[in-house]
Structure 1
């Protein structure tokens, strides 16, 4: 019995979702995706890795440890108050082909759109590129994947500087103070993985506001529409005949 186009598409989407969770390239046809995922899982097994419910800690000295933390379920906890603002958050980070869960990604772009919760209108935006310090030279794979050029990050401030400026931005709106706020991300990776790794590489504590409950839009979309698997931004927009902007 031949599989229907719908079931075939589900399988491809599942493969891409699994690759995205490992920070791997999700482009290509089904055979390429399956081969890429098999290689990644074999490499994990060979290294004794298992990332279910865990986080990578990229230590400043280059060592990497895996530990269970309280941050794992932040996107699953219920909100205990009415939210005034949403911070739509989608970072870009360093990456290298062939690496999976254990790569010490550094954030190279830090963009936020601030939405008023009642109207969902954008009231302000924050954006900064970020200069990586542990691996300052971007790989060809990273440049192709993100579209961010080497000279852009070379001229950018480091992560701690960007974080301080961002905190001043949040203070203008009394976010996480008088006004309740929540980050909104496309999947758990931006906060659970990239922010956590970056703070360890920068040798700073992860700010408490990144441990507040946040909205994982993939998870929320899947549960609300009772889907079997998560859907990426392209899939969500397609459902409503909307075009991606940005």
Structure 2
């Protein structure tokens, strides 16, 4: 059968940034959830399903060749390449039909990956305190890292770092001794975010690699520092969940180094540097956006408990950051 990939004006042309965002992460096999108001009996969905079947039968080299023809990224394992090509074709088709709403993703994503005090073997009674607070600002329109923030934090309960912690993170005793305590660093983060008009002029969401940065480290730190949990960090995108759902891979395939490897990328920088980890997580987020993933909030904290956010919940950005009140 002739390839359907060159039909209907889908000739090779480079995609400009991120054209439209609202595409479901569900596979289209005769059914889809791109927008609940669509009439799924439209022949376009049959065309997409037929094309998906065709893509499923392609070899890795055929996939890379077709992606190159469309000026798309050709690195990654075979399943990643299939997903990339399917989403590109689906997006083009739905845009022709004007089925995609172009303004339903966040303007910015703030990637955070804390480093915290630790001891070898992680004894259960050990209290982790944040010692590095990085933020990497990703512009979802230009698909670039636009800015970064990084400050170290002075721990109060265990002010002396273990040798294990120093060798793991590269953060020295001298660095934390000279740093501000957590409430001051949080205030600096909030000032930095407000200067960039996040939550006022621009919509944004927090993004982490796993759920523990917010549900564990930030939650514990706010209790130690006797401040309430900040409202802007109550919901976030757990990129491990997003990656697993989008590329259809098991949970053990969603570690940072494995996600990079499967996307054809190497880790850039020093592992367990909070800022370098955040930059690499941002690179994964950017590649997922390029591949057509609809990155959106999927976790939240409520009453100190970690909870899942359904993908059917209307997209809503985080509030403008404000310094939380001190606990009584």
- Give the TM-score normalised by structure 2: 0.48
Partner in structure 2 of residue 215 of structure 1:
237
**In the aligned structure 1, how far is the partner of 2:130 from the partner of 2:182?**
7
Runs of 4+, deviation exceeding 4 Å: none
- Give the TM-score normalised by structure 1: 0.64
**In the aligned structure 2, how far is the partner of 1:87 from the partner of 1:112?**
6
Per-residue CA shift, 1:34-85, capped at 9, x if unaligned? Answer: xxxxxxxxxxxxxxxxxxxxxxxxxxxxxxxxxxxxxxxxxxxxxxx63111
Q: CA deviation at 1:102?
A: 4.5
Partner in structure 2 of residue 123 of structure 1:
146
Partner in structure 1 of residue 35 of structure 2:
none
Which structure has the greater CA radius of gyration? 2
Partner in structure 1 of residue 229 of structure 2:
206
Partner in structure 2 of residue 107 of structure 1:
130
Partner in structure 1 of residue 11 of structure 2:
none
List alignment gaps of at least 5 residues for structure 2: 1-103, 270-328
Partner in structure 2 of residue 228 of structure 1:
250
**In the aligned structure 1, how far is the partner of 2:125 from the partner of 2:241?**
24
RMSD value, Cα: 1.7
**In the aligned structure 1, how far is the partner of 2:138 from the partner of 2:123?**
33
Q: CA deviation at 1:232?
A: 1.1
Q: Does 1:172 align with 2:198?
A: no
Q: 1:102 to 1:174 in 2, by over 3 A?
A: farther
**In the aligned structure 1, how far is the partner of 2:211 from the partner of 2:139?**
22
List alignment gaps of at least 5 residues for structure 1: 1-80
Q: Does 1:134 align with 2:134?
A: no
Partner in structure 1 of residue 117 of structure 2:
94
**In the aligned structure 1, how far is the partner of 2:256 from the partner of 2:144?**
18
Partner in structure 2 of residue 152 of structure 1:
175
**In the aligned structure 2, how far is the partner of 1:92 from the partner of 1:101?**
18
How many residue pairs get matched?
Answer: 166
Q: CA deviation at 1:166?
A: 0.7
